[in-house]
Amino acid sequence: MSLNTILETPHYVAYQRATDRSIAIELREDATDVASDRRPSMTVKHVEEDGTVNYYEEATSETQNKWKRALGPLLAKFVVKPAVQLEGNKFTGNVTSSALFEFPRGYKLYTHKKGDHYDPRKDNYLIGSQHVRAFRSPQEFFLHAKWLMEGQAYNSDGTRACGCCYCNPAVTQSDIARQYGTGHISDKPRRQRTSRPRPATSGVIQAKDYTKFNVSSKSS
Ligand SMILES: [Zn+2]
């Protein structure tokens, strides 16, 4: 399959496939804000006496690809396309089937498994940023990825000129979903159906447990 380079910047390279005009985005080494020690602390599966687990494992390649395919159309449409047009060129890419090759250098996608070890709740977290503890969905990460791809600019008051809901507390993920049409707000956990009885509290949405992350690195 042939890939034509349509844009090269100091931070990424964008390719267009000849066959379907989809865009493939390759981040360069410096398109990251990685913190070397940002990782979950509980990465060993241990079944408690009550049959529950609470641990993180690297997300399956299927899940990782799902995130990269969700990020591709957003980054192609809101980062690559305007950059191509800014250079005075016509953008002919097909954004819908676009994809990101790899997450930023040093980032890793984890799946948090919690609850009954036969049927744990599964939540995905993209971890690695020194500024943001974890991104919970491709839609949450997309504007931070845009910031990384566009050179990590800062405002005159020293705050990050990033539109994501963590760097810019003035916006909510709902605002972002409305403005960019990102669709669903977060990557809702999917439970597999089983015949096991559920505890009475199973319908309660639990608050995200961030306390298990390594927080020794600086954050703001
Ligand atoms: Zn951000």
- Cα(116) to centroid(ligand 1), Å: 34
- Cα(201) to centroid(ligand 1), Å: 34
- Cα(183) to centroid(ligand 1), Å: 19
**Model confidence pTM above 0.75:** yes
Digit-coded pLDDT (tens) for 96-108: 999 999 999 999 9
Alpha-carbon gap, residue 88 to 107, rounded angstroms: 33
Alpha-carbon gap, residue 136 to 126, rounded angstroms: 6
Across residues 35-46, what is the average pLDDT? 84
Asked which of 87-91, 156-160, 172-176, 180-184 is least confident by mean pLDDT, the reply is 180-184
- Cα(34) to centroid(ligand 1), Å: 12
- Cα(165) to centroid(ligand 1), Å: 7
Residue 180 near residue 165, CB atoms below 8 Å: no
Residue 58 near residue 109, CB atoms below 8 Å: yes
Pairing of strands 22-27, 94-100: parallel
Q: How confident is the model at residue 211 (pLDDT cuts 50, 70, 90)?
A: very low
- Cα(118) to centroid(ligand 1), Å: 35
Q: How confident is the model at residue 44 (pLDDT cuts 50, 70, 90)?
A: confident
pLDDT score of 36: 76
First and final CA of the chain: distance in angstroms?
Answer: 44
Q: Which residue has the higher pLDDT, 155 or 206?
A: 155
Digit-coded pLDDT (tens) for 49-96: 999 999 999 999 999 999 999 999 999 999 999 999 999 999 999 999
- Cα(216) to centroid(ligand 1), Å: 19
As a whole number, the mean pLDDT across the chain is 86
**The token pair that represents 35 in the structure block:** 């913190």
The domain segmentation of the chain, as residue ranges, is: 3-188
- Cα(171) to centroid(ligand 1), Å: 11
DSSP string, 2-52: -EEEEEE-SSEEEEEETTT-EEEEEE-TTS--B-TT--BS--S----TTSE
Residue 169: count other Cβ atoms within 10 Å of its Cβ: 8
Cα–Cα separations (whole angstroms), residue 146 to 45, 71, 97, 216: 34, 10, 18, 26
- Cα(69) to centroid(ligand 1), Å: 20
Asked which of 26-30, 44-48, 88-92, 194-198 is least confident by mean pLDDT, the reply is 194-198
- Cα(152) to centroid(ligand 1), Å: 9
Q: How confident is the model at residue 194 (pLDDT cuts 50, 70, 90)?
A: very low
